[in-house]
Chain A
């Protein structure tokens, strides 16, 4: 029992992003309202962003700008700095996510204008006519 508890607590960032991932997936697959599907999609993307960012964290590390010791020697140890690469990747992925959200909202607006509703079953009924 204690092992399991430790296993969960030690990897809590992975658990958090996994739970968010499944909430998002559930929203996209199971919700009938198209707006809720979009919200699910955003949660899903955010889960992955958090996953990447949490990986970059190091205990006691600082921002990745080279620091100097008292006698002016540069500190060149990887452990002293947080890993900047995942942050940079995620900055790009956030932009992609925002663009996707924008396109999704634009299409949703068009669906609302054409079908008069944003409930999936009502749209499907309207399409069958």
Chain B
């Protein structure tokens, strides 16, 4: 039984999704419980798998249907994918718990269909992480992409057009990936990642132009999917028009899994030597990543819509991770991988807190934050922890990932990237302190304009009633905020037990 756990990680959510489409007549509560149960089981399985990997310190290779690898499809779970699986299943479980009220608000009809898409997206993400086969990965990529189009389009109104644009761009990205896989298949005759590693290390393929084009197309496709700076235009609109739960699920996970796929392609399928000596784009990519970090944060500063602000922060965070992966040393790699975990948790934290504010006030602009500390104290604290992590204040995990990234960048003498990381942190600090000022004291100018006409001046203070978010939203929010701090406090353990093992040979 225990041998089958890796397959269950994908099978449980897949079948739960099928069931959820059928149980519409049994009511909201039933679909909610089914969703939670399935995700909890998935989370347990992914924890168990990670435990197995860490116990023996070796990679689990699960053969689907017991077909041997180059022909059959295998799931490969090592330290890196194990941790990412736990992250995805955990975040999805927390978001599912959170969804009880906001999902019903956003989807008054056919909530079970919404949940079916929700868990199908999780299936796709988990599958992408676990798969050891390039074409299988493409199919799972499209499964998660298609379900995310469905989820995002449920935001209604302006969400339709934003989703349409995302669909067009996302399809271009996935097709580039598929075309690149085609090039690699023609040159090697294999789709299995481990098999490809061996085949691609032959000297004549190292020189081959076709392999190089294949790599370029794959990486370009993934960059479109993960919204790296010049290719990010589709993201802010698509994510900020979506429903609250949709944003909480998609925004932290989709882009992070794409970063994980980039690491896999770079270091598992190709090798360190090939990426940094033969392809040698490092300089260009580090400039792109630095630009992404700075431009993303500055664009975030300029937004008045809270969720648009958060999506631009993701653009910046993608820059951090890409830079970390391309500085070509161990610290950078550790920083990038650790940041996948840290950023998954802290963006989830922020999106949940902002989602709760929007749920209570019905307003998505910065004015909704007014007097937040009086109105929703717990939400406000969660928001502060998430913000501290984005800025990089210890002991939150955001500080430690940035520490590794800066260390890696300094070792590689990529001073542009160091500067970009520091500037982005400063801009983030300005942005969040401005936001917290509104949350603590109320927006002074806006209050004058707004209430001056009706009640006269100086009308803020103890008069504000407490309106905390419902418990089903508060509990996952608090768990996430605690996880942000715990992950930060146990950085050394996380790095030593999980991440160190996946640092590729030669870095």
**Which residues in A have some Cβ–Cβ distance to B below 8 Å?**
21, 25, 28, 34, 37, 41, 44-45, 48, 51-52, 55, 86, 89, 92-93, 96, 99-100, 103-104, 106-108, 110-111, 114-115, 123-124, 127
Contact = CB atoms under 8 A, between A and B. Distances in A.
Main secondary structure of the interface of B (DSSP, over half): helix
B462 interface: no
B182 A48 contact: yes
8 contacts: A28-B168, A28-B172, A51-B182, A89-B135, A93-B138, A96-B138, A103-B149, A104-B168
Interface stretch (B44-52, B159-167, B497-505): B159-167
A96 B142 contact: yes
Interface string B174-185: 010011001001
Given A100-B142, A104-B164, A41 B171 contact: yes
Interface string B129-168: 0000001001100100010011001001110110110011
Contact of A48 (B135, B156, B164, B179): B179
Nearest to A106: B153
B157 A103 contact: no
Given A107-B167, A110-B160, A25 B182 contact: no
A55 B175 CA distance: 17
Contacts of A28: 168, 172
B160 A114 contact: yes
A48 B175 CA distance: 7
Given A48-B182, A89-B135, A114-B157, A107 B149 contact: yes
A24 to B, nearest CB: 9
B464 interface: no
A115 B157 CA distance: 9
Contacts of B182: 48, 51-52, 55
Nearest to B71: A85
Contact of B164 (A44, A92, A111): A111
Interface in B182-204: 182, 185-186
A115 B162 CA distance: 13
A115 B161 contact: yes
A44 B173 CA distance: 11
A111 B161 contact: yes
Contacts of B158: 127
A47 B178 CA distance: 11
Contacts of A45: 171, 175
A108 B164 CA distance: 7
Contacts of B146: 96, 99-100, 103
A28 B161 CA distance: 14
B163 to A, nearest CB: 6
Contacts of B149: 103, 107
A108 B237 CA distance: 17
Contacts of B171: 41, 44-45, 100
B186 A34 contact: no
A45 B168 CA distance: 11
Contacts of B185: 55, 86
B139 A107 contact: no
Interface in B236-263: none
A51 B167 contact: no
Contacts of B142: 96, 99-100
A3 to B, nearest CB: 18
Contacts of A104: 164, 167-168
Interface centre among A21, A28, A48, A106 (most CB of B within 10 A): A48
A41 B173 CA distance: 11
Contacts of A86: 185
B179 A127 contact: no
Interface string B331-347: 00000000000000000
A86 B54 CA distance: 37
B116 to A, nearest CB: 14
A74 to B, nearest CB: 19
A4 B175 CA distance: 29
A115 B179 CA distance: 35
Contact of B168 (A37, A51, A52, A106): A37
A76 B292 CA distance: 54
A107 B154 CA distance: 10
Contacts of A99: 142, 146
